């Protein structure tokens, strides 16, 4: 369903733009084709607070599907918990989970990854920065701008092409150092660490059953097993 209506005043525009309505819940102004327009929408009160809405190389990507409890939610929690313990122990930076927006103007990118790590070094050297809340309150920040060190994406039924084809190129253009792609929808679970190559991300490959993360400074392997709830449990193991 496509309707024409006045653009919200939040965009600072009064012209008429088309609006695409998905599942009767999400309205995307077609006038928001530029990253700066999308960013204004994302910061406005009318931006949906559920689902995942990203801006990738000029395209607005909307995913309102429910998150699979085990092959997405439980897996994400395990990865985030293991990485957070290491980040906290060594005080290397910030480990954040979904709903944290990462913006990179040079790559025309505004996304909410499943897991993102930004190192203290990246912030100190200006490769990334914390964007303050518009209120200006001390210590309040709303997004990351620049190049994240590590991004984790977990593939779902509605994000296969996006996660495996569109996002890797966009993340490389944004200067991301390392990309982890996981897919637990079918056995065996797929877990691949990609390091930054000259023109694209490249799988690091396994050595003694584990994959090396240069960003985290150690190697990892992922194990899965059935649980009493009819789903899977996961163990991300540092080697």
Within a domain: 58: no
CA 167/CA 108 separation, integer angstroms: 12
The pLDDT of residue 7 is above 60: no
pLDDT at 50: 87
- The whole-angstrom distance between residue 54's C-alpha and the CA centroid of its chain comes to 9
Does 73 share its domain with 126? yes
Residue 64 maps to a domain = no
Total count of domains within the chain: 2
Same-domain check for residues 107 and 186: yes
Q: How many CB atoms lie within 10 A of CB 202?
A: 12
Within this chain, do residues 43 and 76 fall inside the same structural domain, yes or no?
no
Instruction: Report residue 146 as tokens.
Output: 């620049």
Write down the pTM of the prediction: 0.87
Per the structure, the complete domain to which residue 204 belongs is given by 69-238
62 assigned to some structural domain: no
Asked, for residue 63, whether it belongs to a domain, the answer is no
pLDDT beyond 90 at 6 = no
pLDDT tens per residue across span 8-31: 444 444 443 434 445 445 666 666
Q: Is residue 56 part of a domain?
A: no
Q: Residue 137 pLDDT > 80, yes or no? A: yes
Same domain, 185 and 139: yes
Average pLDDT over residues 166-179: 98
- Give residue 30's pLDDT: 67
The reply to whether 27 falls in a domain is yes
């Amino acid at each position: 369903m496509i309707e024409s209506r006045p653009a919200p005043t939040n965009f600072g525009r009064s012209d008429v733009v088309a609006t695409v309505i998905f599942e009767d819940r999400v309205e995307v102004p077609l006038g928001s084709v530029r990253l700066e327009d999308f960013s204004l929408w994302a910061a406005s009160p009318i931006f949906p607070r559920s689902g995942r809405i990203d801006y990738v190389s000029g395209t607005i990507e909307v995913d309102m599907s429910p998150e699979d409890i085990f092959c997405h939610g439980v897996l994400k929690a395990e990865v985030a918990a293991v990485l957070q313990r290491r980040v906290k122990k060594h005080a290397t930076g910030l480990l954040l989970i979904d709903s944290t927006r990462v913006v990179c103007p040079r790559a025309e990118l505004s996304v909410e990854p499943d897991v993102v790590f930004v190192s203290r070094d990246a912030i100190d050297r200006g490769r990334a920065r914390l964007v303050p809340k518009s209120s200006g309150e001390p210590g309040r920040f709303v997004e990351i701008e620049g190049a994240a060190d590590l991004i984790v994406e977990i593939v779902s039924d509605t994000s296969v092409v996006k996660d495996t084809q569109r996002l890797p190129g966009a993340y490389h253009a944004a200067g991301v150092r390392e990309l982890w792609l996981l897919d637990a929808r079918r056995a065996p679970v797929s877990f691949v660490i990609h390091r930054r190559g000259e023109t694209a991300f490249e799988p690091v490959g396994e050595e003694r059953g584990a994959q090396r993360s240069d960003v985290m400074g150690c190697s990892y392997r992922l194990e899965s097993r059935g649980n009493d709830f009819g789903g899977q449990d996961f163990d991300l193991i540092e080697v």
